[in-house]
Amino acid sequence: MKVIIAEKPSVARDIASVLRITNKKIGFIEGRGCAVTWAFGHLVTLLEPGEYDANLKRWTLQSLPFIPKEFRLKLIKNRGVPEQFEVIQTLCQQADEIICATDAGREGELIFRYILTLSGCEAKPIRRLWLNSMTPDAVLEAFKNLKDGHEYDALYAAARSRSEADWIVGLNATRYFTVRHGRTGGGSDRVLWSVGRVQTPVLAMIVHRDDEIRNFIPQPFWELTTLYREVTFKYTGTRFDKPELAQTLLEKILGQPFEITSIVGKEKREQPPQLFDLTTLQREANKTYGLSAADTLKSAQSLYESKSITYPRTDSRYLNQDMKPRIPKIMEQLRVDWADEIAPLNLARLPFTSRIIDDKKVTDHHALIPTGVPPRAPSADELKIYRLITTQFIAAFYPPCVKKITTVSGVSNTVEFEAKGTQILKPGWSALFPKPSKKKDEDEDQLLPAFEKGESGPHTPALREGKTKPPSHFTENSLLGAMEAAGKQVDDDVLREALKERGIGTPATRAAIIETLLQRSYIERNKKQILATDMGRCLIALLQDPLLKSPEMTGEWEEQLKKIERNEIQATDFMEKIADYTRNLISTSSAYRIDTTRWGNCPLCGREIIKGKRAYGCSGWRKGCGFVLEPQYAELELTPHQIRTLLQLHILAEPLQIKEQPRLLVLSHIGQLIDIALPSADRQKKSV
């Protein structure tokens, strides 16, 4: 008997239907010498420390770091899991061959191998079903090309290493920081500080961005412009940081004629957009519709299971050569609902450029595309995601968008100006996308009249005063991009592709990382913005080890996992590095203590804090620093330990350099952090 294990009941039912296996039993479907059964995603997980040694149930610093010599497995404690696992185990023990039909990727392989190990069937013959699409034709084709399951041993090694590495770093760091700092206020209750190999660098990125914005000091500037024939011309030099310099040039051209000196038109060809991978789909869905990464993945997974799109958890934006014959057929099927969009395409001669077809850039799965099967009763979000994917797919085969960018130069009394305008000559692929709204102060797309070189006339010069702007808060769109590029802000497709190997997390896990931080109240959503909470800022302040907060370090670990997948390095070498890192993390972090000989540094200027008769203040008060922290908070008197904790955690990591109302601003922030430092019994007494 052959046993086929799918990741979810719905996928198992679809596979059984395609194979014409119809005899339904409790927990499986059988027929034609096969039994199709299913997991509920993860059924099996790693043991907790207390299950290795009962003494480890108690969290102590002395027991850390705890790194098992050999990891052991157990069932997840969810409803229905023991019963379903018993069905799978019984079937596997009776099987002559076991077929892995879980999701074709790292986590799918881990789900299957963990089930196989816990059921004691590792020695059984195994084969691998690798699906890119759930259409009947794709399922049948995949069954014709079953692989020996052990060809994916390296994929399993990477998956297992990821699981065990996250367990080692996350468990030890979480226990350490919770025991060391969870009773910050000296109370009996403990604050749980959850630390993770991947989630913590992402949180650090958000905290750092918020700090950049908070500490940003706007700098004034002045721009010289002039209006000639209803077109805004800008001074070609740099903008001015002092108004006197700008005013001098303004006075120089007042009352002087303006002359057109040159008109240069240049055609620009913008190539069609590339196909989606999961991360670029999530970014586009967030930018266009405000959908979260998790909601986008949920909708894409539902569309995949209803056979409308290919496998969504992909990191490739390319197709294989063997996909070429299928594309015209998919277009023909789409034509029913997308006739106008497909009409300009010659399906017999589609342009399969290197931006679409590249075998070298397809790893586990090709790009995310529609299958030609329309979605059945899609939700509103599913319909949005389906439209994004289908429009992108069709647009990839459209001709380039051809623009004419005209630069007009002018001069007034030797002061040179320039204006730009863009004219669409051939819309090409851009016809499928609504034109984005024009940004404020953007004049490159202004309509230009027919200027002639040498023409001259009156103009209206002016000075515009502005201020430099801080970087923008993260949105899920920009945060996903930064995670993909290991913390770097990269908009260029080519550069982002080169950094993918070193990204934080994988396309399949990035949404879950963001959701975990939200659930633990370390970050929050404010409309489209992603902001760090005071809890999140406090956690990052507690962590003294820079590597644990480093996006690039985490990106290097992800790169190592991909090398394990490709058999380029051994999993044991990677795990030894993880173990060494964890031992070092605990030993170096243990050196951090609250210094009882001092109060801390001023969060405004960095000088030492001193204690006065009624309050704590900055030792630089004679030099103008106005920071004061009174021990009374609401109805409570803060203890000296609480004062030291708040000031020495460096919650405001960089001096704020704020002149106006520093005490009010800082206390509004520290006041919220006192919730973390106070025991719960005290928190219940106060009203903020």
- 3-class secondary-structure state, position 2: strand
Within 279-437, strands assigned E span 401-412, 415-426
Give the right CATH number for 278-395 from 1.10.290.10, 3.30.559.10, 3.30.43.10, 1.10.10.10: 1.10.290.10
Give the right CATH number for 2-145 from 3.40.50.2020, 3.40.980.10, 3.30.70.250, 3.40.50.140: 3.40.50.140
**198 and 590 in contact (C-beta within 8 Å)?**
no
**How much is the pLDDT for 498?**
55
Q: Which of 590, 683, 594 is nearest to 647 (CA)?
A: 594
Q: Using the Cα atoms of residue 6, residue 51, residue 515 and residue 541 in order, give the sign of their dihedral.
A: negative
The DSSP code for 47 is P
User: In Å, what is the CA distance from 352 to each residue of 81, 356, 479?
Assistant: 47, 6, 32
- How far from each other are the two terminal CA atoms of the chain, in whole angstroms? 67
User: In Å, what is the CA distance from 301 to each residue of 35, 508, 580?
Assistant: 25, 11, 38
**558 and 504 in contact (C-beta within 8 Å)?**
yes
**How much is the pLDDT for 594?**
66
Burial of 123 (0-12, 13-18, 19+ CB in 10 A): exposed
Q: What is the pLDDT of residues 493-529, one digit of tens each?
A: 665 565 566 788 888 889 999 999 999 999 999 999 9
Q: Can you tell me the distance from the alpha carbon of 334 to that of 372, in angstroms, rounded to the nearest whole number?
A: 5
**367 and 275 in contact (C-beta within 8 Å)?**
yes
Q: Which of 640, 636, 656 is nearest to 648 (CA)?
A: 640
The residue annotated as part of the active site, out of 176, 228, 304, 311, is 311
- 3-class secondary-structure state, position 663: helix
Residue type, 402: V
Architecture, CATH, for domain 165-214+473-589: Orthogonal Bundle (1.10)
The DSSP code for 345 is S
Question: Token match 């103009």: residue?
Answer: 459
The DSSP code for 322 is G
User: In Å, what is the CA distance from 524 to each residue of 230, 514, 541?
Assistant: 45, 10, 18
Burial of 26 (0-12, 13-18, 19+ CB in 10 A): exposed
**485 and 496 in contact (C-beta within 8 Å)?**
yes
Burial of 23 (0-12, 13-18, 19+ CB in 10 A): exposed
The pairing of beta strand 34-38 with beta strand 2-6: parallel
**How much is the pLDDT for 621?**
85
**How much is the pLDDT for 132?**
87
Q: Can you tell me the distance from the alpha carbon of 505 to that of 509, in angstroms, rounded to the nearest whole number?
A: 6
Q: What are the structural domain ranges in the chain?
A: 2-145, 165-214+473-589, 220-271+401-467, 278-395, 609-685
Pair of tokens at residue 80: 């229905």
Specify the CATH superfamily of domain 220-271+401-467. Topoisomerase I, domain 3 (2.70.20.10)
**How much is the pLDDT for 54?**
94
Q: Can you tell me the distance from the alpha carbon of 155 to that of 161, in angstroms, rounded to the nearest whole number?
A: 10
522 part of the active site:
no
Please compute Rg for the chain using Cα positions. 31
**How much is the pLDDT for 657?**
36
**How much is the pLDDT for 639?**
79
Q: Can you tell me the distance from the alpha carbon of 120 to that of 124, in angstroms, rounded to the nearest whole number?
A: 9
Give me the phi and psi of 559, to 5 degrees please: -65, -40
Q: Can you tell me the distance from the alpha carbon of 412 to that of 414, in angstroms, rounded to the nearest whole number?
A: 5
Half-sphere exposure of 40 (CA within 13 A, CB side): 15
Q: Can you tell me the distance from the alpha carbon of 643 to that of 611, in angstroms, rounded to the nearest whole number?
A: 10
Residue type, 666: V
**455 contacts: CB under 8 Å, gap ≥ 6:** 259, 260
Q: Which helix (H) or strand (E) holds 467?
A: strand 460-467
Q: Can you tell me the distance from the alpha carbon of 434 to that of 324, in angstroms, rounded to the nearest whole number?
A: 29
Residue 511 C-alpha from the chain's centroid: 6
**Residues of the chain where predicted confidence (pLDDT) is lower than 50:** 184-188, 440-441, 650-669, 671-688
DSSP code per residue over 504-568: SS-TTTHHHHHHHHHHTTSEEEETTEEEE-HHHHHHHHH---TGGG-HHHHHHHHHHHHHHHTTS
**449 and 231 in contact (C-beta within 8 Å)?**
yes
